[in-house]
Every structure is written in C-alpha cells, then in structure tokens.
Chains A and B, each alone.
Chain A
Amino acid sequence: MQIVVNGKKEEVGERTTVASLLKEKKIMMEMVAVELNGTVLPRSRYAETSLKEGDRVEFLYYMGGG
C-alpha cells in the first residue's frame, strides 16, 4: 500500500505499524515525535497503530540541548 512519509510517497507492507515503519528506517523511537494525519501520536501507541492506504506520516527528531 502507499502512504506519504514526510511529504514523499512510499510503498509499505500491509501490516505496517508506526513502530515497524520506524524500525525499518532504523530510527530509535525515543528520538522522534510522530504525527499521523495531522495528529501527534503518543509514543505508547506506535506499536498498536497500523497504517492504512493514503495515511500521512510525519516524523522528526527532537531538537533540544543545553
């Protein structure tokens, strides 16, 4: 199925979750915030949230420091 990740179309498997998408991209969940179809998703829901055709996923790394 096709989804949009950070503005770019991507083909992913039918059973892809937010957590598996991040894992596939070798991104540690602790480092990123994820938005799904315009709503920020709590990290606790990454594993249970399955992606659907046409979903728009945005992720970005936290920006901070001292």
Chain B
Amino acid sequence: MLRIREGCYQFMIQDAFRRFPNEACGILAGKDGLARTFFAMKNTDESPLSYLMDPKEQFHVMKHIREGNEEMLAIYHSHVASPAYPSSKDVQLAFYPDVYYVLISLQDRSRPVAKAYRIQEGHVREEPFKVIPEESR
C-alpha cells in the first residue's frame, strides 16, 4: 500500500490549490512504499484540462531522486472540475505501471478529494493509501 508522509500530502494538496484553475502535477518519491519527498513539477500545458511535465525538469528530478537513494513512488496531478478518477488521456499516457497515480479533485474546492490508482495495460485499479503522521515511522 502507498503511504504518504503527512507533510508531503499537505504540500501536494496546497500545490493543487496554488495552481488552480490550471491542473497541477508532481512526483512523490521515497523508499519502501513511503513517500516522503514531494516535487511540484511545471505543467507545460498550463491548462485546466491537461498536464504535461517538462522532460528537462523530469530528468533533473529523477536524478535527484536516484542520488538520494529514493525511488519514484507516485505521479500526481489535479483535476479542477472533474472527479479524482483517471481520464482516458491519463490512461493513454500512463507509461509507468509500477508507480501509483494520485489524483486530487478540486471539483468541490471546500472538500478536495485524493485517490490513488495503478494503471496497467489500460486497466485502472483504485488502491488504498495511508497518510502517515510526521512523528511516526
């Protein structure tokens, strides 16, 4: 199960709000299934309907993750006006079957919804995830 440090989780939610009305995107990294590092990534589309990360920034972040002996655990993005469920474009562009895809829906901005999925060979499967308080291990 994906576990996300509370601080990391809060950064992600704040990032989605900060970039509203456009979609936000980022990468969660960590070890042993525990995400403890959040990278907010530029959405080169700058759109409320889609996101595309900048490959140069992706290379930089992926090397940083590797050098920190961590691994990419999840790719996150927000939906500003639709539920936290992968769109057909999300499924089409899901090239990492072994990472989680985390979606934040701001459809109701007073109550953001976060969900995690695995997307493998076009099949979407919701996965439970847990937010881990900072003081616990």
Binding site for B on A (CB under 8 A): 6-7, 31, 33, 35, 40, 58, 60-66
Query: What size tier do the contact residues of chain B reach?
Result: 20 to 34
Report the Cα distance A6→B66, complex, angstroms. Answer: 9
Segment at the interface with A among B4-12, B30-38, B49-57, B125-133: B49-57
Q: Does any Cβ of A come within 8 Å of B63's Cβ?
A: yes
Which residue of chain B has the shortest Cβ distance to A65 in the bound complex?
B90
List CB contacts (< 8 Å) of B10-61 with chain A: 23, 25, 27, 41, 45, 49-53, 55-56, 58-59
Q: Tell me what chain B mostly uses at the interface: helix, strand, loop, or mixed.
A: mixed
Q: Do the beta carbons of A65 and B77 come within 8 Å of each other?
A: yes
Q: Do the beta carbons of B58 and A64 come within 8 Å of each other?
A: no
Encoded as 1 (CB less than 8 Å from any A CB) or 0, chain B from 89 to 122 comes to 1101111100000000000000000000000000
